[in-house]
Amino acid sequence: MSKTSTNGMCEHCGAGFKYQIIHNGFNESSYAYCDSCGMTALLDGWKAPQGIDIPIHQEIAPRTEPLLQPCTCGGTFKASAAPRGPRCAEVLSAEKATAWIEEDAAGTSMGWRWQRSWRGLYCIIVDDRVVHDNWCASVRAT
């Protein structure tokens, strides 16, 4: 479930996009989305700064938000934020995304069901818009 598909579709403007679904159990990772452009931040549990406890296998906790560098767009990576359409920057519906996510998964993983939420084990990367381990310099230096 980490191969790139091109079947993503924005329910607001109809724009197609490519995406990847990331299983946060394989990489012991955590994630967050930018609250203004929907960029994904992926945090590898093994690369977290010493003493920083991140909730792996799911989205970050709000306490982790201030430890991350802001997004290149000026937005903030938040536990409660959601991915956005790459063209119109409207928040995508995890419910509506079920149609194209499960269509792509059909045949690759018998009985697999999309979690229908932007929280939980899986996260999405839209149009390769991702930053990795974007810890603030102050916590990384410890």
Query: Which residues of the chain form contacts with Zn ion (CB under 5 A)?
Result: 10, 12-13, 15, 34, 36-37, 39, 71, 73, 75, 85, 87-88
Which two structure tokens, joined as six digits, stand for 58? 């799911």
Backbone angles phi, psi at 13, to 5 degrees: -120, -5
Contact 26, 121 (CB under 8 A): no
Question: What's the angle, vertex CA 115, arms to CA 114 and CA 120, rounded to 5?
Answer: 135
How far apart CA 78 and CA 114 sit, in angstroms, is 22
CB of 118 to Zn ion, least distance (A): 15
15 vs 56, which CB is nearer to Zn ion?
15
99 vs 106, which CB is nearer to Zn ion?
99
CB of 77 to Zn ion, least distance (A): 8
128 vs 142, which CB is nearer to Zn ion?
128
- CA distances in angstroms from 74 to 2, 34, 39, listed in the order given: 28, 9, 11
CB of 69 to Zn ion, least distance (A): 11
34 vs 68, which CB is nearer to Zn ion?
34
28 vs 90, which CB is nearer to Zn ion?
90
Contact 22, 43 (CB under 8 A): no
CB of 51 to Zn ion, least distance (A): 27
CB of 120 to Zn ion, least distance (A): 21
| 58-59 and 29-34 strand pairing | parallel
